[in-house]
Amino acid sequence: MADPVLYYKNITSTTTFLLDVMRELGIKQLVYSSTCAVYGNQEVLPITELSPPKPINPYGEAKLMAERVINAAMKADSSLQAIILRYFNVYGSDPQGRLGEWPRPELRHHSRISGACLDAAMGLVPSVTIKGTQHPTADGSCVRDYVHVSDLVEAHLRAMQHLDNPAPVLNIGSGHPVSVKQFVVEQAEARQGDYAEVWAKIDRIQEAFDWSPRYTDVVEGLRHAWQWRLRHPQGYEKHSDDSMADGHDIS
């Protein structure tokens, strides 16, 4: 990780700034995008909202600090309503083909695994490499919970309608674990800061919002993403091939 301090600047500091602006403008409602990275490695799975946060990388630590700032703000101002949504691994594209994932060139080497596989399938990169095959999981690769972007959007809409919900922290996932190795074959050494296995227990959001993921079949979600790529081979704009020449590293 080249510059871990950037995570704290871009996440924790900007969240604090956002709360300051909200206070100045009298805005009292917030739906905050957090991450399953706050949990780190957990011994008991699936992960619930009561699982102890144990982040193992700067991204998770910065998000957890931001959550604590939000909770402190709510304690100081009882009129402030906030819901924290802890995303698990988001993938897929709009099923109707209107929007899809197309990272900026400088971010392609940090692509989500689904996008990286699609890049390889389209010949934009020569390979996809799994970072880590010796994790304590069934096949040695990381296990993740993949939630379709359309389900995530629906969860946000429900959250906006339930800002008075007594459970301010909610997991957003599919509730189904999927191995990274199921996506790709070429492998390499594990990256520092990667947790071995993470997948969500989503009972709380199902009860609070009457929400359940619609797209729990990863193959279906990948099909949505692939259809969008086929219709938009240049994405939202034409990029230089030089930025995609070396392949993707994925954990």
User: Over the stretch 79-131, which tens digit does the pLDDT of each residue have?
Assistant: 999 999 999 999 999 999 889 988 777 666 666 788 888 888 888 878 777 77
How would you classify the pairing of strands 177-179 and 143-148?
antiparallel
For each of the domains in the chain, give its residue range(s) and CATH number, in order of start: 5-250 (3.40.50.720)
- Catalytic member of 7, 32, 59, 215: 59
What confidence tens digit (pLDDT) does each residue in 225-243 have? Answer: 999 999 998 888 754 344 4
How many whole angstroms separate alpha carbon 115 and alpha carbon 110? 10
59 annotated active-site: yes
